[in-house]
């Protein structure tokens, strides 16, 4: 199962954000154990570094990015993908970009805490739903 993990879930781990960190950490462990292929948009890396650096310092940010690079597969988007995202009927451009990245990179699901921002688009699940789906699938 290939899952694009939204920036907010990774930040839940970095910043130890209760009550979200528990499910976010479980997804991370599933990725470490190769039970899922966890992907992260390369556009998320600088955002994560900036926010972790701001809250916890440069060394923690560097270490966290190194951990991400050891655990996640980075996926990207090109000009055509950005243009496609501009045409998505979504209020938030960043969410549209994440959705297009998910589709274009063949991800089975997009894991996000902002599920409502994606409307009724298929493949979008919050971490709790995704973990339940993984358990049901016997992964």
pLDDT tens-digit readout, 19-72: 999 999 999 999 999 999 999 999 999 999 999 999 999 999 999 999 999 999
% of the chain beyond a pLDDT of 70: 99
* Amino acid 137: pLDDT: 82
**In the chain, what percentage of residues exceed pLDDT 90?**
93
Domains identified in the chain and CATH numbers: 2-137 (3.40.50.1010)
Give the pLDDT confidence score for residue 122 in this predicted structure.
84
Q: Residue 139 has what pLDDT?
A: 61
pTM above 0.85? yes
Angle ∠(33,99,63) on CA atoms, nearest 5:
45
Verify cis geometry, omega within 30 degrees of 0, for the bond prior to 105.
no
**How far apart are the C-alpha atoms of 36 and 41, rounded to whole Å?**
16
The helix/strand/coil state of 25 is helix
Quick one: pLDDT at residue 80?
98
């Amino acid at each position: 199962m290939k899952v694009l993990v939204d920036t907010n879930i990774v930040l839940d781990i970095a910043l130890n954000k209760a009550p979200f960190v528990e499910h976010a950490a479980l997804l991370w462990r599933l990725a470490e154990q190769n039970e899922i292929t966890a992907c992260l948009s390369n556009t998320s890396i600088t955002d994560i570094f900036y926010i972790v650096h701001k809250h916890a310092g440069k060394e923690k940010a560097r270490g966290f990015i190194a951990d991400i690079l050891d655990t996640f597969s980075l996926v990207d988007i090109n000009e055509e993908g950005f243009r496609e995202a501009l045409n998505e009927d979504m209020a938030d451009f960043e969410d549209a970009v994440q959705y297009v990245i998910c589709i274009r990179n063949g991800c089975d699901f997009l894991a996000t805490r902002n599920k409502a921002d994606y409307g009724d688009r298929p493949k979008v699940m919050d971490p709790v739903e995704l973990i339940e789906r993984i358990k049901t699938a016997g992964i």
